Copies of this chain bind each other. A is one copy, B any other.
Amino acid sequence: MLIALCAPCYGAASQPTIADLMDSSKPTDWRSVDHNNALYMDVHGGQVIIELNPKFAPQSVANVKALAKEKYWDGLAIVRVQDNYVVQWADPNAESADKKKKLKEAKEHVPAELDHPSEKDIPFKSLPDKDMYTDKVGFSDGFAAGQDLKKKRTWLIHCYGTVGVGRDNAADSGNGTELYAVIGNALRPLDRNVTVIGRVVYGMELLSTMERGKGKMGFFEKPQKPIPIRSIRLASDVPEKERLNLEVLRTDTKLFDDLIEARRNRREEWFQYRSGHVDVCNVPVAVRIKP
């Protein structure tokens, strides 16, 4: 098998592997996903759960929550699946003034929230590893984030599973009605170009396995049909017994530091060569159902 877990691991006592470290996690190494900041998407025969991050994009997240409240996406669709790029959902009739779905409480216009001042309310655990796209990368409460030290700005990074606000050419032309998730290699060139609202924390494979759109840029064109969305709900509006109590591994702990070091220099016997570096998008932030 490709990645055999070590048996026995060398220096196991002093150099625990990723698996060893995960096994050692305590309840306090995890935090709950807030039901007021999670979306349940019923699509493709299953459930995708997105954790929203209102700190980085307060107005966009508020509008996305308003859209979920008014059941905006129910009956709309996945309109684009581009291999090694994004899955995107929207109103297939968005460009028809007559046919497009009307908004109720949600706003037509929301400002762009491409980055945020690096202030106290924005937690940031920086990685010692350098990054080629910006000054500093790290994690903000479990979300991969970047920083510009001179301009003192912080933003969420486009890794696998990142969810953002689709828009037209104007920076503020996205109101959250059209969202996308990254399903391939990290899309770092999109950082600071789009408002990021969160990341997929459950059911990612429902998005990543979707049939690719054969039109330009992966859009569905006839005879292909968009993939219908049954519903998107704020978790707090989902009946309690249908909710999952998800927990995300905390990224501000010694355990997380140790995990990153175990990933930077893989200790499993399988590895012949240790890269000595970790890329922010190569650090999966674990999610589990609360035991």
Contact = CB atoms under 8 A, between A and B. Distances in A.
Interface of A: 1-4, 6, 80, 83-84, 86, 88, 112, 114, 129-133, 159-161, 166-169, 171, 178, 180, 184-189, 191-194, 204-205, 208-212, 217, 219, 263, 266, 269-273, 275, 277, 279, 281-282, 284
Contacts of A186: 185-186, 279, 282
Closest 4 CB pairs of A and B: A192-B273, A205-B212, A2-B166, A83-B205
A185 B55 CA distance: 26
Given A83-B205, A84-B284, A193-B271, 6 more contacts: A2-B86, A2-B167, A6-B169, A184-B185, A208-B209, A209-B209
A88 B2 CA distance: 8
Nearest to A268: B169
B205 A279 contact: no
Given A185-B160, A185-B281, A168 B1 contact: yes
Contacts of A210: 209
A219 to B, nearest CB: 7
A284 B84 CA distance: 10
The winner among A1, A6, A167 for most chain B CB atoms within 10 A is A1
Nearest to A86: B2
Q: How many copies does the complex hold?
A: 2
A2 B180 contact: yes
Contacts of A189: 263, 266, 271, 275, 282
A178 to B, nearest CB: 8
Given A83-B205, A193-B271, A208-B208, A184 B160 contact: yes
A28 B49 CA distance: 48
B275 A191 contact: yes
Nearest to A79: B1
A227 to B, nearest CB: 12
Contacts of A112: 272
A217 B3 contact: yes
A17 to B, nearest CB: 13
B131 A132 contact: yes
A6 B80 CA distance: 19
